[in-house]
Structure 1
Amino acid sequence: MIDLHSHILPGLDDGAADLSVSLEMAREWVSDGVTTVACTPHILPGLYSNTGPGIRLAVQKLQRILDCEDIALRLVPGADAHIVQDFVAGLRSGRILSLADTRYVLVEPPHHVAPPRMEEFFFNVMTAGYVPILTHPERLTWIRSGYQTIRRLVQAGSWMQITAGSLTGAFGRNAQYWGERLLDEGLVHILATDAHNMRARPPILSEGRDRAARRVGAA
């Protein structure tokens, strides 16, 4: 399996606090059947001042350590990029990273307030040649009022990524309901752990995958 959203890099954001946690998380992924993990620390000016070059360097360092520890996990760079005005310029300059240097890029909107002109923002990202992936829409507090916007984004070519733990109830009934509804309506493209640590946000993908398979079929 491939996990396309994780916060395994130690000390870069609210994910793994130190190297020991990163190594625990890596071993758990391998145990869960995951072979490749996208390292996607937050990029949010003023709070998480990560940049593409810094993330790349951290991924390379952690990969060398995993190799020395004989942990069979491949890391690729990425970012959980929050909506900012110069988003496309950041992608073009390399300050914001896409997933593994592809045209697919994670986009995280504000959790409690729907951003203004959201459809225009996603349209601008797509016209620049990228495929924006809205992260964990099922966990947004405004999903009920913004659900039709999410549907239109998918119809226009954007992707949706839901969190595996949402389907297992780890984020509460509301996130589980919306995660299942998105699945049932064919609006989900990616299932990821969004793992931050070994306790509250563990790197377990298989349980969510199995729940998704029971609802929409293994294929």
Structure 2
Amino acid sequence: MIDLHSHILPGIDDGAKTLDESLEMARIAVADGIHTMACTPHIYPGMYMNDGPGIALARKVLQAELDRAGIPLKLVVGADVHLVPGLLDGLKAGRVPTLNRSRYFLLEPSHTTPPPRLEDSVFNLIASGYTPIITHPERLTWVESHYPVFQRLIEQGAWMQVTAGALTGMFGKRAQYWGERFVGEGHTHILATDAHSTGRRLPRLSEGLAVAQRLVGDAEAGRMVIERPRAVLQNLAPQGFGLPKKEAARPSRMANWLSRLGWTP
């Protein structure tokens, strides 16, 4: 499997704190069946001042340590990018790295507030030749009132990435409901770990993959962790790796729980 979203680089954001933790995260990932992992630290002006050259150097250093320790995990460059002014210029200049220098990059919306003009911003990025992969929409606090927005973003050409742990309840029942809905209704291109540590947010895909297999079948679930991530790393055109057509929405088993809270999807 390929994991396109991780915070395994030590000491540069809210992910791994030390080299030892990074090495242990890598061991966990390999034991879970992950052979390639994108190093995607946050780039958020004023908080995490990472950039393309710095991330590339940190990846090179960590890869050397993995090789020295005999851990068979391949690392590639990326970033968890926030939607801020100057993003497009940063992508063009290389200050903001794409995934393995492809047209694809991780785009993280604000967790608490819908970004203004989100659809226009994503359209401009796509029109400029990039394919944004929207990270963990199931965990955003505003997803209830904006679910159709994400469907329109997919129609524009954006991809969606659901967190494997959300499907297993790691982030609570609300995120589990929305994760199941994104996957079950056919609105998920990529499943990733968004790993931050060796604790609760560890780099495992297999348990979330098992949920996805129950929701959409083995073939489509496999595309989320093998075929589409490989297409990203090879910079293949997104048109050849689209989502399956759905005749009807598949209800989630979280619907009754949310209904008891007085909210109906």
Given the two structures, how large is their TM-score scaled by the length of structure 1? 0.99
Report the counterpart of residue 215 of structure 1 in structure 2: 215
Could you give the per-residue CA deviations for residues 153-197 of structure 1, whole angstroms, max 9, x where no partner exists?
A: 011110000000000000000101001111121110000000000
Report the counterpart of residue 23 of structure 1 in structure 2: 23
Identity of aligned residues (%): 58
Amino acid at match of 1:188: T
Report the counterpart of residue 120 of structure 1 in structure 2: 120
Report the counterpart of residue 92 of structure 2 in structure 1: 92
Partner SS for 1:5: coil
- For residues 202 and 86 of structure 1, what CA distance do their matches in structure 2 show? 32
Given the two structures, how large is their TM-score scaled by the length of structure 2? 0.82
Counterparts of residues 1-219 of structure 1 (less than 5 Å): 1-219=1-219
Amino acid at match of 1:193: T
- For residues 140 and 77 of structure 2, what CA distance do their matches in structure 1 show? 25
Deviation of 1:200 after TM superposition, in Å, equals 2.2
Could you give the per-residue CA deviations for residues 190-216 of structure 1, whole angstroms, max 9, x where no partner exists?
A: 000000001121111110011101110
Gaps of 5+ in 2: 220-265
Could you give the per-residue CA deviations for residues 112-138 of structure 1, whole angstroms, max 9, x where no partner exists?
A: 000110001100110110000100000
Gaps of 5+ in 1: none
Could you give the per-residue CA deviations for residues 52-93 of structure 1, whole angstroms, max 9, x where no partner exists?
A: 000000000000110011000000000000011111100000
* Dislocated runs of 4+, deviation >6 Å: none
Amino acid at match of 2:61: K
Amino acid at match of 2:109: P
- For residues 89 and 201 of structure 2, what CA distance do their matches in structure 1 show? 32
- For residues 149 and 131 of structure 1, what CA distance do their matches in structure 2 show? 17
- For residues 30 and 142 of structure 1, what CA distance do their matches in structure 2 show? 34
- For residues 114 and 84 of structure 2, what CA distance do their matches in structure 1 show? 13
- Higher Rg: 2
Give the CA RMSD over aligned residues: 0.5
- For residues 84 and 191 of structure 2, what CA distance do their matches in structure 1 show? 24
Report the counterpart of residue 227 of structure 2 in structure 1: none
Partner SS for 1:191: strand
Count matched residues: 219
- For residues 158 and 45 of structure 1, what CA distance do their matches in structure 2 show? 23
